[in-house]
Amino acid sequence: MSKSIHEFIENRFKNATGQAVNPGNMKDAKKFAQELGSFLAALHKLDTTDAPLPNVDNGFIGSDLLLFEAEFDDLLLKNEKLVPAEFLHEKFDKAAKKPWTADKVWVHGSFLPKNILVTTDGKLANIVSTDKAVIADPAWDLAVAWLIFDEKARKIFFSAADADEASIDRARLLALRNGLNLYHSDDIDELIQSRDSLTEILEDYHYIGGVDGYDVGGISEQEFI
């Protein structure tokens, strides 16, 4: 981990502890979205001198979306009864055609709910597990939005994080990748986050109400037991 990342997080949070965030323990989702987005905006402005690029050690996290096309297609194929594969591949193609072209910024590399800690009163307590941090496309950090926020809170989060529309589009596909991977997790919280994120993503695309048999929001809780 870069010294600049370490110092930034340590100075901001003083090694505080907390619980992994979920929609229930953040208390006020809109305030938390503002707080988390502001954290990312600051992270993405850190000095990137001599910072590492995506590499084999971090699973190439932070790379252009197009690099993950084969993996994405495989996930869609394996989950074609869960999500509309052809429709989502078209969305992937569209988003991949608008890669991040500005200067690369620091990204956390594993910006998932389990690494975002909250206090007992629902405020941001700490950010952990930064060993995969690199300079790359900020969309990778933005993807967490669909795992923990509803549409209104996401808008606040993106605004606070200074996210542009193309980055949000890429982040949505990265969130879909996360959601499909977590759908097969042994962790009940991750399974529920997966279900909720897939629902939110399909609603973003106005693909809701069980069209063609896809109704992620209607999945029975028994599937997660």
Residue 15, sorted as left (phi over 0), alpha (psi -120 to 50) or beta, turns out to be left
Model confidence over 102-133: pLDDT tens digits? 999 999 999 999 999 999 999 999 999 999 99
Segment 1-17 mean pLDDT: 87
Q: What is the mean pLDDT of the chain?
A: 90
Distance CA 58, CA 191 (A): 24
Specify the pLDDT at position 208. Answer: 60
The model carries a pTM of 0.90
Where does the pLDDT of residue 223 fall: very low under 50, low under 70, confident under 90, or very high at 90 and above? very low
How many other C-beta atoms can be found within 10 angstroms of the C-beta atom of residue 218?
Answer: 10
- The residue-averaged pLDDT of 88-104 equals 97
Per domain, the residue ranges of the chain are 3-180
In this prediction, residue 211 carries a pLDDT of 35
Q: What confidence tier does 6 reach under pLDDT thresholds 50, 70, 90? A: confident
Q: For position 189, what pLDDT does the model report?
A: 87
- In this prediction, residue 1 carries a pLDDT of 52
d(CA 138, CA 214): 30
Residue 221 above 90 pLDDT?
no
* pLDDT of amino acid 92: 97
Backbone phi, then psi, for 166, in 5-degree steps? Answer: -65, -40
Amino acid at 206: H
Residues whose CB falls within 8 Å of the CB of residue 106, separated by 6 or more in sequence, listed in order: 2, 4, 5, 43, 44, 46, 48, 51, 133, 134, 135
- Tell me, what's the pLDDT at 145? 98
40-80 pLDDT, tens digit per residue, is 999 999 999 999 999 998 899 999 999 999 999 999 999 99
The CATH class that applies to domain 3-180 reads alpha beta
b/e map of 62-95 (b: 16 or more CB within 10 Å)? Answer: bbbbeebeeebeebbeebeebbbbebbbebbeeb
User: What is the arithmetic mean of pLDDT over 178-183?
Assistant: 92
| pLDDT score recorded for residue 184 | 83
Give the closest residue to 180 by CA, choosing from 146, 142, 139, 138. 146
- In a 10 Å sphere around its CB, with 0-12 CB exposed, 13-18 middle and 19+ buried, how is residue 209 labelled? exposed
Q: What pLDDT digit, counting tens, does each position of 14-48 carry?
A: 989 999 999 999 999 999 999 999 999 999 999 99
- Confidence (pLDDT) at 202: 95
